[in-house]
Structure 1
Amino acid sequence: MNLKRFCATVLFLSLSFSAFALSDLDYLPKTVSYDPSIPKPEDVLGSPVGTWHARHDQIVRYMEILAESSDRVSLSETGKTYENRRLLLMTITAADNQKNIKSIQKRHLEVIEQGAKSNDKDPLILWMGYSVHGDESSGANASLLVAYYLAAAQGPEVDKLLENNIVLLDPALNPDGLARFAHWANMHRSQNLVSDPNNRELSQRWPRGRVNHYWFDLNRDWLLLTHPSSRARIKQFQQWRPHVLTDFHEMGPNRTFFFQPGISSRKNPWTPDQNVKLTEALGNYHAAALDETKQLYFTQESYDDFYYGKGSTYPDGLGTIGILFEQASSRGHLQDTVNGLLAFSDTIQNQVTTSLSTLKGALANKQALVEYQSNFNKLTDELIKDDRVKGYLLSESRDKARFNELKKILQQHKIEHYSLNKNAKIDNVTYNSVDSIFVPTDQPRYRLVKSIFSTRKRFDDNTFYDVSNWNLALAFNLQYTEVDKGDFRKVSYSDKQAELKVDKLPKLQGNAYAYGFSWEDYKAPKFLQRLLQSGIQVRAAESAFSAKTSSGTISFSSGSIVIPSGLNQPDDMLATIQLLSNQLNIPVWSIESGLTGQGIDLGSAKMSPITLPKVMIVGGLGVNQYEAGETWHYLDTRVGMPVSIIDMDRLSTLDMSSYTHMIWVSGNYKNLPESVIEKVAEWVDEGGVLIGQQSGTKFISDNGWLKAAFMKRSEIQDAFSAKNLQFGDREAFAAKQRIAGAVFETKLDISHPLGFGYTRSLLPVFRNTTEVLLMPEQPFITAAKYVEKPLMAGFASDEMQDLISDSAAVVAHRFGKGRVIGFVNNPNFRGVWYGTSRLMGNAIFMSKFID
């Protein structure tokens, strides 16, 4: 009797804790024996796997014990999460391989990166990753059993497997989310298991365990590297470059089991077709294993393999076979589904089964996997030779912090990028050698490079599961251009990798009249926040000026910060300014007089006092947890600002008077009580700053607070014709009416307070909404608008482009004594849109200038 049938039988006999009184061995093959000296997971957990949702600390402890007990297992800590949980990577292989693991690793990289000849005796490198989404916990729980099997199983079959494979096992890619979900599921577990899908156990509150500490989806962060867990993982991946990487997930309870390949037409265009063929070859082993236990499954449908920022897709760009698995989720311990009772143990079983079928299939296809990876660079070289694009020039002269953050991402992916030996002029734009880098296409990471600088707008299949573009130069709002064969001779670049730029900071003078710094640096809001927290009195310049300083005459643009000496305690002030200047690498100039050479004087009414803001983000059930988390992450980690996150259902009793700013991200606000609507209106009227983004802006508009209206949904739908379409065209027709994620160009009014710190008016924005904000009739309140032909990169139908053309992107104005600011887009998308997240900083600190 298989595990699923056994569980079901026991469940019907007694829905109690004894329902899962199985042995861990019931999950594992019976064809081998197990070393009794190696402890099973249940010996450490106190009950068999699947009885409870294992906490992350329990998983860590078991893996430590396993490493102590078996000479096949070694364990390394690769980093820490935001909540200080340990990130682990286990290396499991034959004992003799363990003794030579460094030399095996070195030789493997020589084969991949230096073209060394592979040896039949060289082991495969297999990376097994589990539960990047914390509430998809069957993977992490299965990792306990897979690790035990590899450490304890005995026999010729296992010996052969371990001698020919290095298994890198990441038991929990999202420890913080897993811990949140395990606590939720366990705290609501009844002795008599409740399978009702409406039961509280199976319906998480806000935020869900899917996300990390800041409520980000870590499965979208492999390329962007916004978070420490992603950075730690990519560092290890680059040091190992495995042949196969597995990524174990869960999906809706009423599904079955999915494994790749998915829809072949939706793979990344830079992924070789041979990758799909090898994925299919391994898929035959998953199918055989699931057939044996009569499990339902599907493949070659649903889920794309396009975005190089996902766990099963990032490896494809570097010669690894990335494979996605999706198991129907019990979301607790037991759930009623269209396929009958689904127990947590069932979900774990399928993840174990396909983990082991991956090992078996990889070993059977060892020669093909080794040949594919060793030939990957040769195939890449052929693409490079045929490519008319020879590289990409990137430049940023005024904001080194933002430019440095992009360089850090390139460094972590080992993407080559070089300083220029001299200025380069392409299409009448001069790229200054001091402020520019060149990213050549002629390099091993060619496929990643082509993807992260892609401006492609049409694809073989325009249906996307996730974003259709992730151009990093556009996300960082850098001046950039592709360099084709004809212009390549104009580019002379160094043979050394570009370094992070550090400003030479001027020495502060103790007797200065005032001190000032530019608002153009990405870290300027953080500098200002720290000054205000220190009690230092500051002024912000509404207009540009130039002033005589100890370093000569310096020009200060709108938004620049001035610290008058006469309003502060000189000794404490000077030490604080110097410390922050050094920490943030922002030059501070010692201004010698309040009389300026040009523009406003330092005592002008347009030198406005800035006070410490107190910001609230509206959260709770109904609010988009990703957008709320992205806003929190920006303000907390990039600005250093303590932010209050207050659930919607508390607003009716909340005293709003102490808050200066209120942020409404996307969400469902239809059921807010009228009393709350009236409180918000009164709060703004009395001087509060109301900020909305995406559907949060529509909520603000619908309540009459924003002086701009959205296009009716019926008008948007009328732009698409279904005439002459057949039933089979439904999916393609729906794809035309959505924007999964593309880059659009806006024109930013850099004289507007929301545009302070920007030096170029054309601003790329990320858009994944179809809502269209009509241009307001009132002048001076549109801070940014879409250009006539707005699509820059990624897919959007012609109909959607026409609707968005010349529409409003950012609107801001007074409302009584307060201000209202509406963003059509999400300026903080996935923590990587450095080019637009500054708009949120301006909305906080420069909002008083909106008049």
Structure 2
Amino acid sequence: MKKPLLSLLLGIFLCYNSQAQENYFFPGEKFDPAVPSPSEFLGYKIGEWHTRYDLIVKYFEKLDELSDMAELKTIGYTHELRPKIILTIASANNMANLKEIRLKQLQLADPSQPKPEVSGMPAIIHQGYGVHGNEPSSAEAAMLTAYWLLASQSDLAKELRENAIVHFDPTVNPDGRDRHSHWANTNKGFPPVADPLDREHNEVWPGGRTNHYWFDLNRDWLPLAHPESQAKIAWYHTWYPNVTTDFHEMGTNSTYFFEPTKPYGSENPVVPRKNYDDINVRFAKYFSKYLDEIGSLYWSKEVFDNSYPGYGSTYPDIHGGLGLVFEQASSRGHVQDSQRGEVKFEFTIRNHVRSSLATMEAALDNREFMHDYLREFFETAISEGSKDPARNYVFGDEFDDNRNHLFVQFLMDHQIKVYENTSDLTLGGYNFKKGKSWIVPTSQPQYRMVRTMFEEVTEFADSVFYDASTWTMAHTYGMPFAAGPSLKLGNQIEDNSPKAFTFPEDKAYAYLIDWADYFAPKMLFDLKEAGVHVEIVNRPFTSQTQDGPVEFAAGTLMIPMGFQKMSESNVKDALKTLAAVNHQQVYATSTGMNLEGIDLGSNLVGTVTAPKVIMVVGDGVSSYEAGEIWYLLDSKVGMPITKVNSDQMNRVNLYDYNTLILPNGNYNSFSESVVEHLKDWINRGGTVISMKSASLWLNQKGITKESMVERGENTDPKELPFAVRSNFEGAKEVGGSIYMARLDLTHPIAYGYRRETLPVYRNNSIFVQPSKNKYLTPIRYTDDPLLGGYISDTNLELLKQSASLIVSPVGRGRVINFYDSPNFRGTWYGTNKLFLNAIFFGDKMD
């Protein structure tokens, strides 16, 4: 008899808890008892624990199971194989006609089709939560809001179900959320500790903000580097929601932020003014009303950046919808002290629930207006595009088929129309060859995204940037491009399959692989893993191949058949298989005597050493930059890399490795014994690849001896108003901008590049003089380097005197100093090769 009584008491307790919760979040509301609340389903009050992602998914699965007004779909998977889900809620009638509603929404967004009558079209609302894993209140709010929409008996909920389609993405970043949830739950006290110094409120490196590879997914809607974003954007373009939310958290001592953001200074230049001056203002009234009702403090029209297209709150603005960012003061755990008293987890959740409800009511009330705006947005895009002096953008790299393929696919993923170029063209100082170049017309519905990809912007309404001040994506791919007049278009690209090559079947003296292709480093690593002996030709030459005479640049890979441990047939089979996998063109030659340049047995030809790479991570190191390197080597090379925590370096024997990577960071925690071991290892032939501030630390330790650019006399005013301090000092920073650099094409760092100029990305104010050794500054800035983004006049002059990269000889070893960001956000395909050259050919650089 005890068990039934215990079960009864537990049921009464949970029911009481659930009712208390509902009264806190939804005072006075009545709910369908057939639909369990989140607290009933989970067995604890929302806010009592940080809910694991798998339980969030299971709760949404339960809603799907119980109601014909809910449908759950998996749209993709994270790196750690957690499902990316979308829960759709609408009336049973609308759910039965979901496909027809979706197609009508797509028709509305396509000016080539007749405009449908919008009076009967439901509002399409996309509620997005939790892109930053350690901003956890929003995912809890997602469960509560979905429950309310499905089960509430209020007039508003009923009207929303009848006249809206609401899509819930409860956690944009499931991997990061679970990392943070585990931390907060395992460090929770009983009772919870509010002291900000408590371990619960201070995650260990790298924290839960980022995804598996330590990337900020709220920057990835544009680059699409990761499966979470790729799945999200593919889904987004099947709906074109009228409203998209993006829920965040900020410092504990803040209150609550909603849009509008800072006028002009934080706005995207391609978004119509109507979005900022009209639509944002309409919706803000609802947010203030809902927060006023519960007495929550809030603010708007300040600080938060809405300009970078890769934000979850900005990308929708460039697609005819309204993107909305919300920021809640965080408890960073279950409860934390603030200047206004204790901030409790459930309080932070409630504020996001209120904004979720306000968003849906605003979208409902402005349903027809937002539909009309969606159509107007794409109609005006075509109209403005047809008046743009640039009628077309032409792009293409004649030497790198795979990078071309990646960029074309990237444009297509953003629904930009791309066409074949059917003739040889010369534009903007570039030669674009038929079959190796493409055309993007500006007169198309995605005109504003075309501008995002190709425009170079150097004038701004503000000089302080929360994030990157430029994002010309053609530059990130290192893609030659030029604006052009009206041109004859070839076929629109529908199938963007990688180029296939025929493998040479005749007997070969040696095989040759051009290093210019983006995936040549992966091919090299795969060959070394397969046991194939590979050499590098360090000067240009012309060889007789199966395709006749072919010119090869320095850095070409050579596989000599006379120096292989494997049998000739096994080498050939490995080459053929790996060439197909990596989409590489392999040339065969029957002689070592070249038609021009050095021969294949020259002393300027040498063996490629297999990289053995270790990278320092952990406290003091930029997790973003370390993650970019880790992701590059994993996803683009397939090369494992040893990651060692900075506080474990005293246990590392560097002689087990030939390359050490020091990402941007602070290394003052290294003991003197670690520093001495590092010095000895480099002196005996080791290669260090150091990034930005890591290079400054090496200089401070006397390992390298480079010199800073001398700053001129300080010309700042001696007195300024206190209120302008942030703007004045912030304008001195280099907040993410693009510059043209000049390469020494004979240096191994530049192997694979055929043009002397290359766009590079910089987001720091470290200015170092070129090396005193005239041969060892292989990358410098041009005389007029600024391509896009903000930089003060003073910093621009310092930059012109600076090096982009220096090789510092140290005994028999060297330090390769990167002062720019060659792997930024996983999207700088144009400069990845510089970094990979440092890994594969570091021992040949000094």
- With the shorter chain as reference, the TM-score category is over 0.9
Secondary structure of the 2:167 match is strand
Tell me, in whole angstroms, the C-alpha distance in 1 between the residues paired with 2:494 and 2:765: 39
Counterpart of 1:99? 96
Tell me, in whole angstroms, the C-alpha distance in 1 between the residues paired with 2:245 and 2:415: 22
Secondary structure of the 1:263 match is coil
Does the alignment pair 1:494 with 2:490? yes
Q: Is the 8 A contact 2:808 2:817 kept in 1?
A: no
Counterpart of 1:85? 82
Given the alignment, which residue of 667, 671, 686 partners 1:669? 667
Aligned counterparts, 1:508-657, within 5 A: 508-509=504-505, 511-568=507-564, 569=566, 570-657=568-655
- Give how far 1:181 is off: 0.5
Does the alignment pair 1:51 with 2:52? no
Cα 1:405/1:600, change in 2 over 3 Å: same
Secondary structure of the 2:490 match is strand
Counterpart of 2:11? none
Does the alignment pair 1:795 with 2:790? yes
Deviations 1:244-302 (A, max 9, x none): 00000001111110001111112112111211221121111111111111111111111
Tell me, in whole angstroms, the C-alpha distance in 2 between the residues paired with 1:838 and 1:33: 61
Cα 1:291/1:427, change in 2 over 3 Å: closer
Tell me, in whole angstroms, the C-alpha distance in 2 between the residues paired with 1:774 and 1:563: 39
Cα 1:285/1:52, change in 2 over 3 Å: same
Q: Report which stretch shifted further, 539-548 or 790-799.
A: 539-548
Tell me, in whole angstroms, the C-alpha distance in 1 between the residues paired with 2:395 and 2:21: 55
Counterpart of 2:449? 448
Tell me, in whole angstroms, the C-alpha distance in 2 between the residues paired with 1:835 and 1:841: 12
When normalised by structure 2's length, the TM-score is 0.95
Q: Report which stretch shifted further, 407-416 or 550-559.
A: 550-559
Q: Is the 8 A contact 2:649 2:670 kept in 1?
A: no
What residue identity is the alignment partner of 1:468?
A: S
Counterpart of 2:690? 692
Deviations 1:178-220 (A, max 9, x none): 0111111111111121111111110011111000011000000
Deviations 1:417-454 (A, max 9, x none): 11112222324543212111111110111111112212
Q: Is the 8 A contact 1:24 1:40 kept in 2?
A: no
Counterpart of 2:757? 762
Does the alignment pair 1:780 with 2:775? yes
Tell me, in whole angstroms, the C-alpha distance in 1 between the residues paired with 2:192 and 2:429: 70
Counterpart of 2:66? 69
Tell me, in whole angstroms, the C-alpha distance in 1 between the residues paired with 2:503 and 2:413: 33
Tell me, in whole angstroms, the C-alpha distance in 2 between the residues paired with 1:178 and 1:329: 14
What residue identity is the alignment partner of 1:695?
A: S
CA RMSD of aligned residues (A): 1.9
Secondary structure of the 1:469 match is coil
Tell me, in whole angstroms, the C-alpha distance in 2 between the residues paired with 1:252 and 1:724: 30
Does the alignment pair 1:804 with 2:799? yes
Does the alignment pair 1:371 with 2:367? no
- Give how far 1:466 is off: 1.1
- Give how far 1:833 is off: 0.5
Q: Is the 8 A contact 2:709 2:802 kept in 1?
A: no
Structure 2 segments unaligned to the other structure (5+ residues): 1-13
Cα 1:628/1:22, change in 2 over 3 Å: farther
Aligned counterparts, 1:461-500, within 5 A: 461-483=462-484, 488-489=485-486, 491-497=487-493, 500=496
Q: Is the 8 A contact 1:789 1:801 kept in 2?
A: no
- Give how far 1:671 is off: 3.1
Tell me, in whole angstroms, the C-alpha distance in 1 between the residues paired with 2:782 and 2:524: 33
Tell me, in whole angstroms, the C-alpha distance in 2 between the residues paired with 1:701 and 1:202: 35
Counterpart of 1:169? 168
Does the alignment pair 1:357 with 2:326? no
Q: Is the 8 A contact 2:135 2:249 kept in 1?
A: yes
Tell me, in whole angstroms, the C-alpha distance in 1 between the residues paired with 2:80 and 2:231: 15
Tell me, in whole angstroms, the C-alpha distance in 1 between the residues paired with 2:718 and 2:741: 33
- Give how far 1:816 is off: 1.5
Q: Is the 8 A contact 1:509 1:550 kept in 2?
A: no
Q: Report which stretch shifted further, 498-507 or 381-390.
A: 498-507
Counterpart of 1:3? none
Q: Is the 8 A contact 1:88 1:170 kept in 2?
A: yes
Tell me, in whole angstroms, the C-alpha distance in 2 between the residues paired with 1:55 and 1:338: 30
Counterpart of 1:238? 237
Tell me, in whole angstroms, the C-alpha distance in 1 between the residues paired with 2:218 and 2:432: 35
Cα 1:523/1:87, change in 2 over 3 Å: same
What residue identity is the alignment partner of 1:139?
A: S
- Give how far 1:379 is off: 2.9
Tell me, in whole angstroms, the C-alpha distance in 2 between the residues paired with 1:279 and 1:29: 26
- Give how far 1:657 is off: 1.0
Q: Is the 8 A contact 1:559 1:753 kept in 2?
A: yes
Aligned counterparts, 1:417-432, within 5 A: 417-427=418-428, 429-432=430-433
Cα 1:280/1:93, change in 2 over 3 Å: same
Tell me, in whole angstroms, the C-alpha distance in 2 between the residues paired with 1:721 and 1:788: 26
Q: Is the 8 A contact 2:430 2:480 kept in 1?
A: no
- Give how far 1:567 is off: 2.3
Tell me, in whole angstroms, the C-alpha distance in 1 between the residues paired with 2:154 and 2:205: 48
Cα 1:575/1:26, change in 2 over 3 Å: farther
Q: Is the 8 A contact 2:384 2:443 kept in 1?
A: no
Q: Is the 8 A contact 1:749 1:783 kept in 2?
A: yes
Tell me, in whole angstroms, the C-alpha distance in 1 between the residues paired with 2:526 and 2:51: 41
Counterpart of 1:156? 155
Counterpart of 1:5? none
Counterpart of 1:333? 334
What residue identity is the alignment partner of 1:222?
A: W
Q: Report which stretch shifted further, 176-185 or 46-55.
A: 46-55
Q: Is the 8 A contact 1:510 1:574 kept in 2?
A: no
What residue identity is the alignment partner of 1:616?
A: I
What residue identity is the alignment partner of 2:525?
A: Q
Deviations 1:81-103 (A, max 9, x none): 10001000111111110000000
Q: Is the 8 A contact 1:787 1:806 kept in 2?
A: no
Does the alignment pair 1:748 with 2:743? yes
- Give how far 1:36 is off: 1.1
Counterpart of 1:729? 724
Secondary structure of the 1:33 match is coil
When normalised by structure 1's length, the TM-score is 0.94
Secondary structure of the 2:318 match is helix
Secondary structure of the 1:34 match is coil
Tell me, in whole angstroms, the C-alpha distance in 2 between the residues paired with 1:515 and 1:22: 74
Q: Is the 8 A contact 2:118 2:371 kept in 1?
A: no
Tell me, in whole angstroms, the C-alpha distance in 2 between the residues paired with 1:621 and 1:76: 39
- Give how far 1:368 is off: 2.3
Aligned counterparts, 1:699-714, within 5 A: 699-711=697-709
What residue identity is the alignment partner of 1:492?
A: K
Tell me, in whole angstroms, the C-alpha distance in 1 between the residues paired with 2:546 and 2:834: 32
Counterpart of 1:343? 344
Q: Is the 8 A contact 1:720 1:737 kept in 2?
A: no
- Give how far 1:359 is off: 0.9
Deviations 1:10-44 (A, max 9, x none): xxxxxxx9999974423432343211111222233
Tell me, in whole angstroms, the C-alpha distance in 1 between the residues paired with 2:519 and 2:474: 19
Deviations 1:757-781 (A, max 9, x none): 0001111101110110112222101
Secondary structure of the 1:447 match is helix
Cα 1:625/1:148, change in 2 over 3 Å: same
Tell me, in whole angstroms, the C-alpha distance in 2 between the residues paired with 1:813 and 1:542: 20
Q: Is the 8 A contact 1:177 1:212 kept in 2?
A: yes
What residue identity is the alignment partner of 1:191?
A: F
Q: Is the 8 A contact 2:421 2:489 kept in 1?
A: yes
What residue identity is the alignment partner of 1:761?
A: E
Tell me, in whole angstroms, the C-alpha distance in 1 between the residues paired with 2:17 and 2:136: 17
Counterpart of 1:817? 812
Q: Is the 8 A contact 1:722 1:733 kept in 2?
A: no
What residue identity is the alignment partner of 2:774?
A: P
Cα 1:226/1:27, change in 2 over 3 Å: farther
Structure 1 segments unaligned to the other structure (5+ residues): 1-16
